[in-house]
């Protein structure tokens, strides 16, 4: 019999009236990769936070290596050989990699010995697991894929034998995700136990040995991965059959609603990120922008929505120009019928300390509907919020709950509901389903198709090729700040992948 690394027995956890975990039983075998899947709000992250000592279970027992364990703080978990890589990294941005790794694990007051020991140990870990990263690099200057490696190195430096990863590919490019999986397989071969929390079922099928499914706080099934299918897991997660591809009719494109011509945008370092691009989006169609993250998509969306100044070019909304000099007010653009769902919901789309109902009117708080004289009409705001919670299936259904306490997928629904319910003529969406589970993905995709069918112009930027191919009526591919090709929705993944890597462009130059 294989030895259990972790056993969770009868775990219960409530937050007020919300029961996040109900009588959970789970066994994770040593030296395996064990996936945990479920809808946003199913209780996955809560369960792992109990294992890591962030929360205390209301009842139940934890065993580590067959022995009862009392885990009241993350330090207790670390002492038992448990490490966790969070969905939103726990790093100090202006510290070096080395400083982040030793933070909280220093062995001397002046840090000289700690730094020397950490540098030597990091070199060993990098060689052993393929986790190469410059120990003297500043965190905020590293791409997210390397920041994630730092989180893994932190856990291994503290002696982790059991590694929990919460939605580890949510912010990674496909290439970075593939590299992460190679690292995880290598960790498994070295005898480590990996717990992978994710909503991406294809990743579960590709890398895990066993998968457990949670729904509404309960554990509904555990399967050997090789004996299940994506379709079965999706149905177990949601409790009904789920459409894994978007069903849509032919687009009936009308007049041009958004026209971008010769747009050039630089980032804060003065580097050209968007290089002389031109395209348009018509009423009644979805245009998808495919590309590996960092090829100018973010800067393009920010310029169109009035957040970032452009260097040159023009953008026309319903035939009238948008001021690209930096004087454009995003609120003015909203009044003109342009709604924007930003890529980074935490830093741009939401104020996490605000209640759900407060976030549901951000940017629209000065509309007469939400005012009573010079004051906000709180009753109207909360009534609208409750209606949207029901319409968009936001969980938990509590408009007074702090937005930080919603799962990532439900936070995304809050932003989408706010923007879509304003009935915009043009909707631009960055990463519409980042960190969102399979049931919510189906829901969001149906909403976007419905907007298209109502005659809206929809521009979608996503690093998920399946999503771009499913949603789009036309696909534009960005590479190195330029649009390098246009394809139809029947384009193959391989064809789009070559364009995304700039291969066809380089071959043409040769």
Residue 504 confidence (pLDDT):
61
Q: Quick one: pLDDT at residue 406?
A: 87
What average pLDDT does the segment 451-476 reach?
93
Arithmetic mean of pLDDT, 174-201: 87
**67: CB partners within 8 A, 6+ apart:** none
Position with higher pLDDT, 389 vs 234: 389
| pLDDT of 466 | 83
How far apart are alpha carbons 306 and 196 in whole angstroms? Answer: 38
d(CA 12, CA 395): 19
* pLDDT digit string, tens, across residues 51-66: 999 999 999 999 999 9
Arithmetic mean of pLDDT, 261-289: 95
Q: Is 71 exposed, middle or buried (0-12, 13-18, 19+ CB in 10 A)?
A: buried
Q: How many helices (H) and strands (E) does the chain have?
A: 17, 22
Query: Mean pLDDT across the stretch 18-38?
Result: 94
Confidence of residue 170 (pLDDT cuts 50, 70, 90): low
Note whether 4-238 and 245-337+424-510 share their fold: yes
Output the pLDDT for position 221: 95
Give 245-337+424-510's CATH code, choosing from 3.30.230.20, 3.40.50.970, 3.40.50.300, 3.30.930.10: 3.40.50.300
HEC states along 106-132?
CCCCCCHHHHHHHHHHHHHHHHHHCCC
Residue 349 pLDDT greater than 80, yes or no: yes
Q: How far apart are CA 14 and CA 143, in angstroms?
A: 36
Domain chopping of the chain, boundaries: 4-238, 245-337+424-510, 349-422
Q: Does residue 445 carry a pLDDT above 60?
A: yes
Rounded to an integer, the average pLDDT of 64-89 is: 91
Both tokens of 125, joined, read 């870990």
Over range 324-345, report the average pLDDT: 87
Q: Which residue has the higher pLDDT, 172 or 501?
A: 501
Q: Residue 510's pLDDT is what? A: 46
- The pLDDT-based confidence of 494 (bands split at 50, 70, 90) is confident
Is pLDDT of 294 > 90?
A: no
What is d(CA 137, CA 126) in angstroms, rounded to the nearest whole number?
Answer: 15
| Cα 296 from Cα 302, distance rounded (Å) | 10
Among 133-147, 293-307, 448-462, 481-495, whose mean pLDDT is lowest?
133-147
Q: Which of 266, 297, 85 is nearest to 173 (CA)?
A: 297
Q: Where are any strands of DSSP class E within 49-179?
A: 59-64, 67-69, 82-85, 162-166
Of the candidates 60, 81, 87, the one whose C-alpha atom is nearest the C-alpha of residue 197 is 87
110 phi, psi to nearest 5 deg: -90, -5
Exposure b/e, 403-425, CB count within 10 A at least 16 = b: bebbbbbbbbbbbbbbbbbbebb
Residue 1 pLDDT exceeds 60: no
User: Phi/psi zone of residue 207: left (φ > 0), alpha (ψ -120 to 50 degrees), beta?
Assistant: alpha
CATH architecture of 4-238: 3-Layer(aba) Sandwich (3.40)
């Amino acid at each position: 019999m294989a030895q259990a690394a972790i056993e969770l027995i009868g775990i219960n956890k409530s937050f007020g009236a919300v029961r996040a975990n109900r009588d959970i039983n789970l066994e994770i075998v040593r030296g395996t990769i064990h996936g945990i899947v479920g809808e946003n709000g199913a209780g996955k992250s809560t369960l792992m936070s109990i294992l890591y000592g962030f929360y205390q279970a209301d009842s139940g027992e934890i065993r580590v290596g067959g022995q009862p364990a009392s885990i009241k703080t993350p330090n207790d978990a670390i002492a038992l050989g448990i490490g966790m890589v969070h969905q939103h990294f726990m790093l100090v941005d202006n510290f070096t990699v080395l400083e982040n790794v030793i933070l909280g694990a220093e062995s001397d007051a002046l840090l000289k010995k700690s730094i020397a020991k950490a540098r030597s140990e990091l070199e060993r870990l990098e060689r052993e697991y393929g986790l190469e990263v410059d120990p003297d690099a500043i965190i905020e200057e590293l791409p997210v894929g390397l920041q994630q490696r730092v989180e893994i190195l932190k856990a291994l430096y503290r002696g982790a034998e059991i590694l929990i990863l919460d939605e580890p590919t949510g912010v990674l490019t496909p290439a970075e995700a593939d590299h992460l999986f190679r690292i995880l397989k290598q960790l498994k071969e070295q005898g480590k136990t990996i717990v992978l929390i994710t909503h991406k079922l294809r990743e579960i099928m590709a890398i895990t040995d066993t998968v457990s499914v949670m729904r509404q706080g309960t554990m509904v099934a555990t399967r050997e991965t090789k004996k299940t299918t994506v379709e079965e897991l999706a149905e177990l997660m949601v409790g009904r059959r789920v459409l894994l591809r978007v069903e849509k009719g032919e687009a009936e494109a009308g007049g041009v609603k958004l026209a971008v011509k010769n747009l050039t945008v630089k980032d804060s370092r003065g580097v050209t990120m968007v290089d002389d691009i031109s395209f348009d989006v018509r009423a009644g169609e979805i245009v998808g922008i495919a590309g590996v993250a960092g090829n100018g998509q973010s800067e393009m969306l920010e310029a169109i929505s009035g957040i970032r100044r452009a260097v040159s070019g023009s953008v026309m909304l319903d035939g009238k120009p948008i001021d690209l000099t930096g004087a454009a007010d995003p609120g003015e653009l909203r009044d003109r019928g342009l709604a924007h769902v930003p890529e980074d919901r935490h830093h741009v789309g939401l104020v996490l300390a605000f209640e759900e109902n407060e976030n549901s009117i951000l940017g629209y708080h000065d509309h007469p509907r939400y005012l009573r004289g010079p004051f906000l009409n709180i009753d109207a705001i909360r009534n609208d919020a409750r209606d949207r919670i029901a319409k968009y299936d936001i969980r938990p259904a509590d408009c007074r709950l702090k937005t930080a306490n919603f799962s990532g997928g439900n936070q995304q629904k809050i932003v989408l509901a706010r923007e879509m319910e304003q009935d915009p003529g043009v909707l631009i969406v960055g990463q519409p389903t980042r960190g969102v589970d399979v049931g919510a993905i189906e829901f969001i995709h149906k909403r976007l198709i419905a907007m298209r069918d109502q005659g809206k112009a929809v521009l979608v930027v996503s690093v998920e090729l399946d999503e771009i191919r499913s949603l789009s009526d036309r696909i534009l591919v960005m590479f190195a700040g330029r649009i390098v090709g246009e394809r139809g929705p029947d384009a193959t993944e391989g064809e789009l992948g070559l364009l995304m890597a700039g291969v066809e462009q380089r071959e043409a130059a040769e």
